[in-house]
Amino acid sequence: MAILNITYQGQSADYELAIDFAATDGDIHRIATEVVRTGSVRGLHVPDLPQHAFTNYVVDRLEGPDGEQRIYLRPKVPFGA
């Protein structure tokens, strides 16, 4: 099981309920859309979130700083220079 962190429009927050670390990217997109719309993510409530808000987002599955499994749903970051 893993913690899901969602970043949207500059706000970033954890979803409190653990989800399957092996969930597909599509599953993560659907779960994130639902929990952000319903206000289940503290500090990240967007009732009118568009259906495809996370379509171009990236799903990272990483080990967190304390060894826990974490899933990050985030915008692409193509830029630097």
Partner 1 sequence: MARKLVVCGVGALGSTAVQYLRNVDAELRLVDFDRVEAKNLGAQWFVKQSVGKNKAEAVRLQLANFYGAKAEAMGVRLGAHNAEQLLADAALAIDCFDNADSRLVLQTAARAAQLPLVHAAFAADGTFGMVRWDERFTPDREDVAGQATCEGGEHLPMIGLIGATLARTIQDFLARGERRDYLISLSGVVRSH
CA distance 44 to 31: 14
For partner 1 (CB under 8 A), the number of binding residues is: 25
Nearest to 2 by CA among 79, 70, 81, 60: 70
> Nearer to partner 1 by C-beta: 47 or 65?
65
Answer yes or no whether residue 52 interacts with partner 1 by CB under 8 A.
Answer: no
Answer yes or no whether residue 56 interacts with partner 1 by CB under 8 A.
Answer: yes
CA distance 74 to 7: 5
Answer yes or no whether residue 70 interacts with partner 1 by CB under 8 A.
Answer: yes
Position 81: which residue type?
A
Answer yes or no whether residue 54 interacts with partner 1 by CB under 8 A.
Answer: no
Q: In the window 13-42, what residues touch partner 1 (CB under 8 A)?
A: 13
Residue 67 φ/ψ region, left for φ over 0, alpha for ψ in the -120 to 50 degree band, beta for the rest:
left
**Interacting residue ranges for partner 1, rule: CB under 8 A:** 5, 7, 9-13, 43, 56, 58, 60, 62-65, 70, 72, 74-81
